[in-house]
Amino acid sequence: MKIAPHWVRRKEEIAGMLFRVRAYSFSSSHEAQERMEKKLRLLHDFFGTGKRHNQQDIENFRLLIRRLDEHQDHEEYAVVTTEEIVRTLDEQNIITRNRYGAEVLNSVNTCFLDVDERKPSFFQKFLGLIGKAKDMQEILTERVRELCRRDPSMGVRLYRTSHGWRLIVAAEGLSPSSPRMNELCKILSVDPMYERLCARQDCWRARLSPKPHRLGMPYRYPMPQTSWEQTEKLEDWLKIYAQKSSSRAVCRLIECMGVPTETPVVRLHDEVTKALKLDIPLA
């Protein structure tokens, strides 16, 4: 799991271009700040002189940035999360707050998959007119049941979300970057971008609290610029968000299939998302 506990963000204008720069550290806020200064110097040296750069210059520049971000020279540029750590459950499960203020569970050992609702095709609309169409939830349920039938080790919890469905999947040989993950994502029509993010970040992510705009919050989350920043504006925003979130659920449990999947992490997910409260609206 690639979640940096210390980070800093900054906007910098160089040669008429605006750069949004972030630097992070897994050791200390001081090291994150030092890396920010080094990144800014590299950017000024590379873009601020007006010099034309060849392909080798560009590759050398990228290599220096990768090294500052603790990547090995041969490593693909990975995704490192720079979000406020709200709560550490254990080494494999960490709750963070994302860029728009919602809490997110990052997990190495619990697979979360989200499936978005899609508009029916012309053919599906035609089948609906003659009474032979299946809705997306019915199709999704049938696919999950077939997966569980083929694999006795698999267990799945299916939830309804505001604009789709969420699945918690347990099965042998399943990890964020495994072939099994790729197979499940294709069968269940999971967003390919989410699949790639899981592989590069080496964890699954599940939103635990509502999206602010679905609560009617008219202003943007005042994202901190450093991992240690605390402001009165931020505290006020969080108070309003908590109040408005109290009467909304993120998802609603529909059905459990295959082997039992309840674990401490799953129980926490259901409690925080209010998945078992059937009488409150989704957000």
Q: Sign (positive/negative) of CA torsion 151, 155, 159, 165?
A: negative
* Cβ(214)–Cβ(283) below 8 Å: yes
**pLDDT band for position 248 (50/70/90)?**
very high
In the predicted structure, residue 48 carries a pLDDT above the cut 90? no
Q: Which residues of 218-247 are buried (b: 16+ CB within 10 A; e: fewer)?
A: eeebbbbebbeeeeeebeebeeebeebbee
Residue 17 counted as domain residue: yes
121 and 218, same domain (yes or no): yes
Residue 230 is predicted with a pLDDT of 83
100 and 45, same domain (yes or no): no
Q: Residue 180 corresponds to which tokens in the numbers above?
A: 């099994």
Mean pLDDT is lowest, of 48-57, 175-184, 226-235, for 48-57
114 and 248, same domain (yes or no): yes
Residue 78 is predicted with a pLDDT of 62
Residue 229 counted as domain residue: yes
Residue 76 counted as domain residue: no
pTM, to two decimals: 0.87
Q: Say how far apart CA 241 and CA 211 lie, in whole Å.
A: 10
148 and 219, same domain (yes or no): yes
Q: What residue numbers bound the domain in which 256 lies?
A: 84-273
Residue 18 is predicted with a pLDDT of 94
Number of domains in the chain: 2
In the predicted structure, residue 130 carries a pLDDT above the cut 70? no
Among 16, 36, 68, which residue terminates a domain? 68
pLDDT tens digit string along 76-93? 546 789 999 999 999 999
Task: Report phi then psi at 62, rounded to 5.
Answer: -60, -40
115 and 225, same domain (yes or no): yes
The average pLDDT across 167-195 equals: 94
Q: Residue 99 corresponds to which tokens in the numbers above?
A: 């860029």
107 and 54, same domain (yes or no): no
The average pLDDT across 27-38 equals: 95
Residue 71 is predicted with a pLDDT of 66
Residue 119 is predicted with a pLDDT of 62
Look at strands 155-161 and 204-207 and give their pairing: unpaired
Residue 76 is predicted with a pLDDT of 52
In the predicted structure, residue 61 carries a pLDDT above the cut 60? yes
In the predicted structure, residue 219 carries a pLDDT above the cut 80? no
Helix axes 136-150, 179-188, angle to 10 degrees: 150
DSSP per position, 176-191: TTSHHHHHHHHHHT--
Mean pLDDT of the chain: 89
112 and 248, same domain (yes or no): yes
Residue 52 is predicted with a pLDDT of 85
Residue 74 counted as domain residue: no
222 and 196, same domain (yes or no): yes
* Cβ(187)–Cβ(194) below 8 Å: no
Q: Say how far apart CA 194 and CA 174 lie, in whole Å.
A: 16
Residue 13 counted as domain residue: yes
174 and 208, same domain (yes or no): yes
Strand partners for 161 = 164, 251
* Cβ(251)–Cβ(278) below 8 Å: no
Residue 281 counted as domain residue: no
221 and 88, same domain (yes or no): yes
Cα dihedral value 95, 213, 100, 230, nearest 10: -90
Q: Residue 216 corresponds to which tokens in the numbers above?
A: 């009617």
38 and 160, same domain (yes or no): no
Residue 181 counted as domain residue: yes
Name the strand (E) or helix (H) holding 66.
helix 55-68
Three-state DSSP class for residue 130: coil
In the predicted structure, residue 121 carries a pLDDT above the cut 80? no
The average pLDDT across 26-40 equals: 95
Residue 37 counted as domain residue: yes
Cβ burial of 129 (10 Å; 0-12, 13-18, 19+) is: exposed
Better-scored residue on pLDDT, 171 or 70: 171
CA distances to 18, 132, 189 from 127, rounded to whole Å, are 52, 5, 21
30 and 155, same domain (yes or no): no
